[in-house]
Structures are given as C-alpha cells and as structure tokens.
Amino acid sequence: MITGTNHITLAATDLLRSVAFYRDLLGFHLRADWPRGAYLTSGDLWLCITLVDAVAPRGDDSHIAFSVPRTAFPALVERLHDHVEIWQDNVSEGPSFYFLDPDGHKLELHVGGIENRLSHYRAHPDKGVRVYG
C-alpha cells in the first residue's frame, strides 16, 4: 500500500545552478550534496537533484505543483517572475503560477489543495468533472 510521496528526483545539467534555484528562489533547505547530486527539503517534500549530461523535458502537461500559503503566494511569485519562464497561464480554481526551472522542468505554485479543487467542481457541475465521495 502506498502511503504518500517518498521523494522526487529531477535531472539537472548544472548542479550548482539548480541547487541555487531551489534553495535561493523557492526556499528549499539544502540537506546534503555530492559531486553529482544534492538533497533538498521543503516541509515534507524531499527533492533529489541529480547531475546528467542532458535533460529532455516533456512536451505535455506533466508537472510538479508545490503548495504555497495564500499569504506567501504574491511575494513568491514576484520574487520568481524575473528569473523564470512562464509555461502556462492559470486557469485553475485557485491562485497558481506555472514556471520552468533552469532545466525546463515544469513547476507550479498553487494555493489550496484537493478539497478546494473538489469543492469548486461540486459548485460548477457544468465543467463536466465527476466528483466522488
């Protein structure tokens, strides 16, 4: 039985650049590093950055969304805005900011959780989403 997310590993072509991005811009804590990788944490999230020669980001909607408190969202988006490329405009029910990391991995900052999303769809059955439970 799966009990949750254990860790996420992202490939990077420049380890120092990626560590600086996640630590300095997103506020992750550097927990360990070695010549070809690093471990960072934010809350319960464990992120592994591993050095590779090339990264091939996906061309679809696959991405990682990070939870952000509503009060911290505007300042974090402002801090990121001049340092990242935006890959999608927000069309979700809550505040979201969609951006790329230095190697083109698709990331999102999002306010709210699954219950907010389900409540939105319960209130808007015209969206065509079936909500269970």
Q: Report the candidate in 15, 17, 16 with the shortest Cα–Cα distance to residue 50.
A: 15
Residues 132 and 68 reside in one and the same domain: yes
Are the C-beta atoms of residues 30 and 47 closer than 8 Å to each other?
no
Is 115 noted as a catalytic residue in this protein?
no
* Kind plus residue range of the DSSP H or E element containing 113: none
The active-site residue, picked from 78, 85, 93, 108, is 108
The CA distances from residue 46 to 56, 83, 115, 118, 120, in Å, are: 22, 23, 23, 26, 29
Residues 48 and 61 reside in one and the same domain: no
Total domains present in the chain: 2
State the residue range of the domain holding 75: 57-133
Residues 96 and 133 reside in one and the same domain: yes
Domain endpoint, select from 54, 72, 99: 54
Are the C-beta atoms of residues 45 and 67 closer than 8 Å to each other?
no
User: pLDDT digit of tens for each residue in the chain (133 aa)?
Assistant: 878 889 999 999 999 999 999 999 999 999 999 999 999 999 999 999 999 999 988 889 999 999 999 999 999 999 999 999 999 999 888 899 999 999 999 999 999 888 988 999 999 998 889 999 8
Spatial distance between the Cα atoms of 15 and 83, rounded to a whole number of angstroms: 17
Residues 22 and 42 reside in one and the same domain: yes
Query: What is the reported pTM?
Result: 0.90
